[in-house]
Amino acid sequence: MSNTKIENLLQQKQVKSTAMRNLVLQYFLKINKAIDLKELENVFFYADRTTLFRTIKTFKDKGVIHEIKDGTNTTKYALCNEHCTSENHFDIHPHFYCEKCKQTTCLRKISVPKISIGNNFTIHSTNFFIKGICKLCNSVA
């Protein structure tokens, strides 16, 4: 993705453009999977850990990425769809966790049915995970 497109995306999400934010967003756009902070630190080994953490926090707060808890005791992050904002995340889709390669992938094309649990409850988020072996790991086996 070109620098202009990255700058436009950051501007759309009302995130100030910095060199590190541009690089991190470019990486998220390239990988198309969920990653944890440790993996991001390994990729950007030359960057300060605090800077990376603040970048992730800013992106999460502004609707650039969403947080995923996949049962591995590690929080992972993946790109949001273009309609997410700082007030509302619209990433209501399942996630697939490969038990072999330990990768978590957003399944954006599969919709999660709307859940209603009565008038006395307000739902803020739902988690829907599918665990198994991914296509790549199946082809190697």
Is pLDDT larger for residue 98 or for residue 87?
98
Question: Are β-strands 95-98 and 129-132 bridged in parallel, bridged antiparallel, or unpaired?
Answer: parallel
Q: What pLDDT does residue 24 have?
A: 96
Give 47's contacts (C-beta < 8 A, 6+ positions apart). 20, 41
Find the CATH number of the domain harbouring 79.
1.10.10.10
- 77, containing H or E segment: strand 75-79
Owning domain of residue 52: 3-140
* Of 108 and 78, the one with more pLDDT: 78
For residue 53, what pLDDT band results from cuts at 50, 70 and 90?
very high
Helices (H), the chain: 3-12, 19-31, 37-43, 49-61, 135-140
> Whole-prediction pTM value?
0.80
Alpha-carbon distances of 59 from 6, 13, 28, 78, 106, rounded to whole Å: 13, 9, 11, 10, 17
The residue with greater pLDDT, 118 or 104, is 104
What is the mean predicted confidence (pLDDT) over 14-41?
93
Chain-centroid distance of CA 92 in Å reads 12
**Number of domains composing the chain:** 1
More confident residue, 29 or 32: 29
Residue found by looking up tokens 């988020």 in the block: 125
Q: Mean per-residue pLDDT for 9-34?
A: 92
d(CA 51, CA 59) in angstroms, rounded, equals 12
